[in-house]
Amino acid sequence: MATKIQEAPKVGMVSLGCPKALVDSERILTKLRADGYAMSPDYEGADVVLVNTCGFLDSAKEESLEAIGEAIAENGRVIVTGCMGNEAELIRARFPEVLAVTGAHQYEDVVAAVHAAAPPARGAFVDLVPEGGLKLTPRHYSYLKISEGCNHSCAFCIIPSLRGKLASRRIDAVLREAEKLVSAGTKELLVISQDTSAYGVDTRHESREWKGRQVRAHMTDLARELGQLRTSDGMAPWVRLHYVYPYPHVDDVIPLMAEGLLTPYLDIPFQHAAPSVLKSMKRPANEAKVLERIRNWRSIAPDIAIRSSFVVGFPGETEADFQYLLDWLDEAQLDRVGAFRFEPVEGAAANALPNPVTEEVKEERYQRIMEKTAAISAAKLAAKVGRTLPVIVDEVGESDEDGSIGATARSQADAPEIDGNVFLRDVPETLQPGDVVEVVIEDADEHDLFGAIVDA
């Protein structure tokens, strides 16, 4: 039986202005071609027309407006981009039927608008790259970057100088990427950025249309929409939030975990607990309120796993500060903890702070915090023995001399690479990476769980 190949949608392009604008047009068309689009030399054959405008002079603006009008008259489905994109109100006032208006260099926004207006043809026979793109992670989990940069000025960090201020991606572009990843086989989405809680602050949480409704560029809206996605077999993918600063609106995502729309897991970079150290770090210092909020989160979503990282030996950290941190950890009972010895980074403000901590003291404190957190982890994992938990399979081993097959998996409390594992015994030959199965937990150590598939 012959395979019927879906015809590629066609894009027309009117490119106005200087050579820089022409290069922009080339980049846009190159990306669209890689996405499976064909190019149309005329209005009649195009499914959508792009008009790349010039706004350098009044005469150039008028020429651009005339080109938009002509494209609407000849085709009717028009997306405007380029230098006049910053005058979107003027364009929409004159041509309200325009599908989208984006600014110069906003390649992702243009491509997203074309995808929305004329979805690309998909399939192994027409795609130049695999659906979901080229991946460096296993097929069953994917990282979903929602923004670049950061608005914080932490004393130990140089990320803002490397990546700039917060720059959030369009919410519809993020959701479209997530949808593509899930349709390509992703069972677990790991939402990442420098500051996930701040998503959309730079765009004033602008709304975009998605699936016939308006959705804000906001962490809560994003989490809710990601929770609506489904795999080809009808499964809701696991959705993890990483690098979440504990702003007040984080409270709003906890009910989504209780509803099953979001994996009950938060990665929060607390960095320390002692008020004086947090102040020196230029970090939020209301640690008492954080403890209260953690208790409230657990009352709403009892299975929530909270992971964090802490810096020991920061300049000026006293023994009393460090003991404060250990006591705080006793009360917080975080599920997963990583610790780092402070190291000066070229360009970081912390390098100039007084009272550096010696390497010997850093090492001693590092060993103490790791001992403390390992004990907390061991107790929390021991409490899971006897429970039945869903796990996602990462790797299936080879059959041993007895014909037994083992597998490595993770629970909802375990992010890949940074948290623990669930080691499974006597799994069936048919088990595959990415399978989500129910497992009875039989044993635990300080960091990992051990069990068997229910009814395996």
> Residue 12 has what DSSP assignment?
E
113 and 224 fall within a common domain:
no
Write down the pLDDT at residue 126: 45
Instruction: Give the bridge partners for 59, in sequence order.
Output: none
From residue 74, alpha-carbon distances to 78, 100, 347, 411 in Å are 10, 17, 56, 56
Contacts 24+ apart (CB under 8 A), 59-68: 60/16, 60/17, 61/87, 63/16, 64/16, 64/17, 65/91, 65/94, 67/14, 67/16, 68/94, 68/95, 68/98
Residue after which a domain boundary falls, among 349, 382, 415 = 382
State the Cα–Cα distance between residues 225 and 235, nearest whole angstrom: 15
Q: Which residues are annotated as a binding site for [4Fe-4S] cluster?
A: 18, 54, 83, 150, 154, 157
Domain total of the chain? 3
> Residue 186 has what DSSP assignment?
-
- Whether 99 is in a domain gets the answer yes
CATH code of the domain containing 57: 3.40.50.12160
pTM strictly above 0.95 = no
- Whether 128 is in a domain gets the answer no
- Whether 56 is in a domain gets the answer yes
Instruction: Give the bridge partners for 397, in sequence order.
Output: none
339 and 429 fall within a common domain:
no
Burial (Cβ within 10 Å: 0-12, 13-18, ≥19) of residue 219: buried
Residue after which a domain boundary falls, among 382, 408, 443 = 382
Give a three-class secondary structure readout of 105-138.
CCHHHHHHHHHHHCCCCCCCCCCCCCCCCCCCCC
Which are the contacts of 135, defined by CB distance < 8 A and separation ≥ 6?
142
Which are the contacts of 287, defined by CB distance < 8 A and separation ≥ 6?
273, 274, 275, 278, 328
At 318, list the tokens.
Answer: 């006293």
182 and 37 fall within a common domain:
no
Write down the pLDDT at residue 403: 81
CATH code of the domain containing 440: 2.40.50.140
State the Cα–Cα distance between residues 197 and 78, nearest whole angstrom: 35
For residue 409, give the H/E element and its range. Answer: strand 407-411
294 and 228 fall within a common domain:
yes
- Whether 24 is in a domain gets the answer yes
408 and 376 fall within a common domain:
no
Token match 């009360």: residue?
Answer: 331
257 and 363 fall within a common domain:
yes
State the Cα–Cα distance between residues 156 and 349, nearest whole angstrom: 6
300 and 372 fall within a common domain:
yes
Residue after which a domain boundary falls, among 346, 361, 382 = 382
- Whether 122 is in a domain gets the answer no
106 and 250 fall within a common domain:
no
CB 117 within 8 Å of CB 87: no
State the Cα–Cα distance between residues 331 and 440, nearest whole angstrom: 29
181 and 264 fall within a common domain:
yes
- Whether 132 is in a domain gets the answer no
At 167, list the tokens.
Answer: 């720059």
Token match 């790797």: residue?
Answer: 395
Nearest to 206 by CA among 173, 180, 229: 173
Q: Domain of 202?
A: 141-382
State the Cα–Cα distance between residues 241 and 63, nearest whole angstrom: 47
Write down the pLDDT at residue 49: 96
Handedness of CA 349, 350, 355, 356 (dihedral sign): negative
364 and 393 fall within a common domain:
no
CB 107 within 8 Å of CB 86: no
Q: List the pLDDT tens digit at each of the 456 positions of the chain.
A: 444 556 789 999 998 876 556 667 877 888 888 888 888 989 988 999 999 998 766 677 889 999 999 999 999 999 999 888 878 889 999 999 999 998 876 778 899 999 989 988 755 444 455 555 545 578 899 889 898 888 777 777 766 766 678 899 999 999 998 999 899 899 999 998 889 999 999 999 999 999 889 999 999 999 999 999 998 888 999 999 999 998 889 999 999 999 999 999 999 999 999 999 999 988 865 665 899 999 999 999 999 999 999 999 999 999 999 999 999 999 999 999 999 899 887 677 787 788 999 999 999 999 999 999 999 999 999 999 999 999 999 999 988 878 899 999 999 999 998 899 999 999 999 999 999 999 999 999 999 999 999 985
26 and 157 fall within a common domain:
no
- Whether 124 is in a domain gets the answer no
17 and 160 fall within a common domain:
no
Q: Which residues are annotated as a binding site?
A: 18, 54, 83, 150, 154, 157
Nearest to 102 by CA among 180, 12, 160, 24: 24
From residue 12, alpha-carbon distances to 41, 42, 76, 284 in Å are 6, 7, 12, 51
- Whether 131 is in a domain gets the answer no
Q: How many CB atoms lie within 10 A of CB 249?
A: 11
CATH code of the domain containing 149: 3.80.30.20
State the Cα–Cα distance between residues 397 and 393, nearest whole angstrom: 11
CB 307 within 8 Å of CB 337: yes
State the Cα–Cα distance between residues 126 and 239, nearest whole angstrom: 30
